[in-house]
């Protein structure tokens, strides 16, 4: 299967590329993104045929349906990394918490967040391609907290790879920051920037599109790629676990085959929701995708009105920081799928130049057939964290935002899966504030210890070890200095 560009072709880029080309060089014409030329339509019995199969077998068969140009041996090697999760047979369990409500726990990998589900196999595949081609790559990652640790973990000390990770100084939890700044890989550079995640992501996109930066890299024999969800190599693995959600409900006798379900996704950059949208188009029985936001409610505004307006928006730092985003990259792939390349380019030219775009009434209706959206504030999240722990279930603040959608957006009495994208350990001070109903400033260490002790909640060794680890990367710079710092990094011997 070949991949095409969301904003049309500029006459310089090839009109179509293979999967391997799309993940090695993710920046398309006019700053657009790559998408499949067509999505595979899975056979009617695909889901039933996987009820007694493993997650790895499900993933393998979905990847094969996309006809990606990756050798079977490399696919299997990448998928074998799920063996390193808490339960190799079920890397992302689906847990019943109410009669009609289930939590898809996506945080059982090495960095305790859902990004491991995609980045573990993606990193393996990209590294193997680079090695096979005898090409050297710089991987860029911008993070609001979880992509960074997961990308650094998967690319650590990989041959032919260097990775530079940008994070907003003060914009992540302490655990997330420690997961990055204590990394000791020889091929890693972690850079704090004075700014927010949108600044980091904009810098990443600008570097991916910069001819002068690419020329600097080429002078040193290095090519450029990215670990963010602008890269379809991430998205393809984010399609798989939505099928897994449905199959798990079938296994648990909670639904009958063909019965539709709601999926609720806490969203910042829209990649997780996009995976669900693609899964639905491929044949998964989804009634609707319910999008949960925090007070940075740009997605709620857009999905409810058709207007994406960030002209007067200031990013709010919330207790669910991975969702503190105003420019959501993956809405572009949905817009392309619904309205085509010409309209997509018009829309993103308007957003880039004027910080606003407006869909027509007809376009908005099409969008609302697929998605509904709502947002919640930190007070709502705290209330839900306490309410659910009182009933025996411990969740993080991002998962808590999903409950607003579950309670307010469902129009039919159908089973609902909410996506828990991070373990509570990554946001323990927020969780402890919720449980104690106070605003005391706890350190991550004391909050982890108190919650673990009071509620018999297990602490992973990887989290415990962070507090005695040596901080190696303490650089914090202005965003204007990012390119210079990265060029210096690639020239280090």
Please indicate, yes or no, if residue 163 is contained in any of the structural domains: no
Please indicate, yes or no, if residue 40 is contained in any of the structural domains: no
Strands (E), 209-285: 222-226, 261-266
Mean pLDDT in consecutive groups of 10 residues from the start of the chain, 493 residues: 97 97 94 97 95 97 97 97 96 98 98 96 95 94 92 95 94 93 96 91 88 90 92 97 98 98 95 98 98 97 98 93 92 98 98 97 98 98 97 97 98 98 97 96 96 95 96 95 92 77
Rounded CA-CA distance 302/323 in Å is 16
Q: What is the dihedral of CA 337, 338, 344, 347, to 10 degrees?
A: -140
Note the pLDDT of residue 44.
86
Tell me the whole-structure pTM to 2 decimals.
0.95
Note the pLDDT of residue 381.
98
Please indicate, yes or no, if residue 298 is contained in any of the structural domains: yes
Please indicate, yes or no, if residue 444 is contained in any of the structural domains: yes
Q: Is 41 left (phi over 0), alpha (psi -120 to 50) or beta?
A: beta
Rounded CA-CA distance 355/309 in Å is 6
| Cβ burial, residue 208 (10 Å; 0-12/13-18/19+) | buried
Rounded CA-CA distance 337/26 in Å is 18
Please indicate, yes or no, if residue 410 is contained in any of the structural domains: yes
Instruction: Kindly report the length of the chain.
Output: 493
Q: What is the dihedral of CA 212, 216, 218, 221, to 10 degrees?
A: -170
Rounded CA-CA distance 366/118 in Å is 29
List CB contacts of 362: < 8 A, sequence separation 6 or more.
none
Please indicate, yes or no, if residue 24 is contained in any of the structural domains: no
Q: Is 423 left (phi over 0), alpha (psi -120 to 50) or beta?
A: beta
Domain that holds residue 362: 80-113+233-468
Q: What is the dihedral of CA 144, 145, 148, 150, to 10 degrees?
A: -130
Please indicate, yes or no, if residue 426 is contained in any of the structural domains: yes
Please indicate, yes or no, if residue 341 is contained in any of the structural domains: yes
Pick the closest to residue 279 from 5, 35, 2, 41 (CA basis). Answer: 41
Note the pLDDT of residue 492.
81
8 Å CB contact between 110 and 425: no
Note the pLDDT of residue 493.
63
Based on the structure, what is the number of domains in the chain? 1
Pick the closest to residue 188 from 217, 207, 206, 166 (CA basis). Answer: 166
Cα angle 196, 142, 126 (rounded to 5 degrees) comes to: 175
- Report DSSP state, residue 268: S
Pick the closest to residue 208 from 256, 265, 137, 151 (CA basis). Answer: 137
Note the pLDDT of residue 145.
87
Query: Which pair of tokens denotes residue 484?
Result: 């210079």
* Domain at 454, CATH number: 3.40.50.1100
Count of other CB atoms within 10 angstroms of residue 206: 14
């Amino acid at each position: 299967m070949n991949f095409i560009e969301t904003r049309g072709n500029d006459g310089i880029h090839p009109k179509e590329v293979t999967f391997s080309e799309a993940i090695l060089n993710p920046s398309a014409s006019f700053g657009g993104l790559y998408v499949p030329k067509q999505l595979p339509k899975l056979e009617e019995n695909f889901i039933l045929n996987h009820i007694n199969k493993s997650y790895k077998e499900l993933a393998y068969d979905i990847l094969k349906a996309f006809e990606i140009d990756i050798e079977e041996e490399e696919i299997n090697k990448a998928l074998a990394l799920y063996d390193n999760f808490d339960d190799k047979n079920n890397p992302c369990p689906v847990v019943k918490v109410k009669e009609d409500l289930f939590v898809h726990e996506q945080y059982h990998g090495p960095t305790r967040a859902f990004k491991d589900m995609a980045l573990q196999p993606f990193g393996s595949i990209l590294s193997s391609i680079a090695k096979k081609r005898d090409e050297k790559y710089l991987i860029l990652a911008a993070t609001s907290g979880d992509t960074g640790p997961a990308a650094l973990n998967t690319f650590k000390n990989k041959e032919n790879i260097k990775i530079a990770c940008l994070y907003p100084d003060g914009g992540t939890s302490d655990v997330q920051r420690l997961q990055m700044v204590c990394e000791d890989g020889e091929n890693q550079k972690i850079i704090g920037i004075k700014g927010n995640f949108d600044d980091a992501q904009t810098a990443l996109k600008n570097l991916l599109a910069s001819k002068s930066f690419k020329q600097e890299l080429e002078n040193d024999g290095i090519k450029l790629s990215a670990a963010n969800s602008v890269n379809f190599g991430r998205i393809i693995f984010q399609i798989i676990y939505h099928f897994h959600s449905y199959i798990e409900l079938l296994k648990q006798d909670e639904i009958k085959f063909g019965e539709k379900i709601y999926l609720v996704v806490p969203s910042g950059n829209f990649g997780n929701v996009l995976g669900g949208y693609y899964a639905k188009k491929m044949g998964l029985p989804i009634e609707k995708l319910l999008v949960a936001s925090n007070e940075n409610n740009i997605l709620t505004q857009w999905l409810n009105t058709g207007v994406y307006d960030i002209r007067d928006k200031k990013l709010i730092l919330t207790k669910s920081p991975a969702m503190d985003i105003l420019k959501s990259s993956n809405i572009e792939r949905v817009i392309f799928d619904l309205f085509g390349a010409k309209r997509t380019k018009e829309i993103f030219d308007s957003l880039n130049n004027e910080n606003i775009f407006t869909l027509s009434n007809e376009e908005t209706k099409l969008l609302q057939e697929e998605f509904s959206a709502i947002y919640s504030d930190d007070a709502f999240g705290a209330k839900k964290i306490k309410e659910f722990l009182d009933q025996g279930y411990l969740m993080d603040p991002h998962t808590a935002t999903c409950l607003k959608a579950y309670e307010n957006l469902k129009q039919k009495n159908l089973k609902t899966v909410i996506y828990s994208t991070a373990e509570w350990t990554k946001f323990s001070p927020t969780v402890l504030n919720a449980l104690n109903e106070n605003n005391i400033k706890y350190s991550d260490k004391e909050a982890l210890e108190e919650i673990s002790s009071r509620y018999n909640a297990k602490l992973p060794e990887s989290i415990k070890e962070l507090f005695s680890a040596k901080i190696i990367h303490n650089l914090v710079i202005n965003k204007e200095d990012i390119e210079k710092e990265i060029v210096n990094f690639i020239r280090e011997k």
